[in-house]
Amino acid sequence: MKVEFDQSRPIYLQIIEDIKRQIATGVLKPGDKLPSQRDLAVQLQVNANTVQRAYREMELLGIVETLRGQGTFVRAERSIVEETRGDMVSTLVEEFVTAMQALGYDAEAILLHVRQKLADTAGNGGERNGK
Amino acid sequence: MKVEFDQSRPIYLQIIEDIKRQIATGVLKPGDKLPSQRDLAVQLQVNANTVQRAYREMELLGIVETLRGQGTFVRAERSIVEETRGDMVSTLVEEFVTAMQALGYDAEAILLHVRQKLADTAGNGGERNGK
DNA sequence: CTTAGTGCACTAGGCGCCTAGTGCACTATT
DNA sequence: AATAGTGCACTAGGCGCCTAGTGCACTAAG
Most confident of A119-123, B48-52, B65-69, B75-79: B48-52
Q: Which residues of A touch B110 (CB under 8 A)?
A: 114, 118
| Helix (H) or strand (E) segment spanning residue A21 | helix A11-24
Give, as ranges, the nucleotides of chain D with any atom within 7 Å of a protein CB: 5-11, 16-22, 25-28
Torsion (CA) A74, A80, A82, A88 in degrees, nearest 10: -80
Torsion (CA) B103, B108, B109, B114 in degrees, nearest 10: 110
pLDDT exceeds 80 at position B37: yes
User: Radius of gyration over alpha carbons of chain A, in Å?
Assistant: 18
pLDDT exceeds 60 at position B66: yes
Check whether residue B35 and residue B16 sit in a common domain.
yes
**B93-112 per-position pLDDT tens digit:** 999 999 999 999 999 999 99
Residue A84, in any domain of the structure:
yes
Check whether residue B18 and residue B65 sit in a common domain.
yes
Residue B104, in any domain of the structure:
yes
The span from the CA of B33 to the CA of B36, in Å, is 8
Q: What is residue A6's predicted lDDT score, i.e. its pLDDT?
A: 86
Give the CATH number, domain containing residue B59. Answer: 1.10.10.10
The span from the CA of A94 to the CA of B67, in Å, is 39
User: Would the CB atoms of B103 and A115 count as touching at under 8 Å?
Assistant: no
> Hey, is the C-beta of A92 within 8 angstroms of any chain B C-beta?
yes
Type of residue numbered B71: G
Q: B9 to chain A nearest CA, in Å?
A: 6
Type of residue numbered B43: Q
Check whether residue B53 and residue B99 sit in a common domain.
no
**Strand blocks (E) in A33-70:** 64-67
Which of A97, A111, A113 is facing B121, going by the closest CB pair?
A: A97
- Residue B125: strand, helix, or coil: coil
**A85-117 per-position pLDDT tens digit:** 898 999 999 999 999 999 999 999 999 999 999
- Residue A97: strand, helix, or coil: helix
- Could you tell me which residue, B8 or B35, shows the higher pLDDT? B35
Residue B90, in any domain of the structure:
yes
| Mean pLDDT value across residues A35-58 | 94
Tell me how many domains chain A contains. Answer: 2
Check whether residue B69 and residue B105 sit in a common domain.
no
Q: B71 to chain A nearest CA, in Å?
A: 26
Q: What is residue B40's predicted lDDT score, i.e. its pLDDT?
A: 95
Torsion (CA) A95, A98, A99, A105 in degrees, nearest 10: 140
Q: What is residue A124's predicted lDDT score, i.e. its pLDDT?
A: 58
Please compute, for residue A129, the number of CA atoms within 13 A of its CA located in the half-sphere on the CB side.
1
Give the structural domain span for A107: 79-123
Check whether residue B103 and residue B70 sit in a common domain.
no
Residue A63, in any domain of the structure:
yes
Check whether residue B117 and residue B83 sit in a common domain.
yes
Residue B1, in any domain of the structure:
no
Q: Which residues contact A61 (CB under 8 A, 6 or more apart)?
A: A16
The answer to whether B39 and B71 are in contact (CB under 8 A) is no
- Could you tell me which residue, A78 or A59, shows the higher pLDDT? A59
Quick one: three-class SS letters along B87-110?
HHHHHHHHHHHHHHHHCCCCHHHH
The span from the CA of A4 to the CA of A26, in Å, is 22
The span from the CA of B99 to the CA of B109, in Å, is 13
> Hey, is the C-beta of B24 within 8 angstroms of any chain A C-beta?
yes
Angle at B15 between CA B11 and CA B18, to 5 degrees: 135
| Mean pLDDT value across residues B43-55 | 94
Check whether residue B70 and residue B18 sit in a common domain.
yes
Mean pLDDT of chain A: 87
Which string of b and e fits A73-86 if b means at least 16 CB within 10 Å? bbbbeeebbeebbe
- Could you tell me which residue, A98 or B121, shows the higher pLDDT? A98
**Strand blocks (E) in A51-99:** 64-67, 71-74
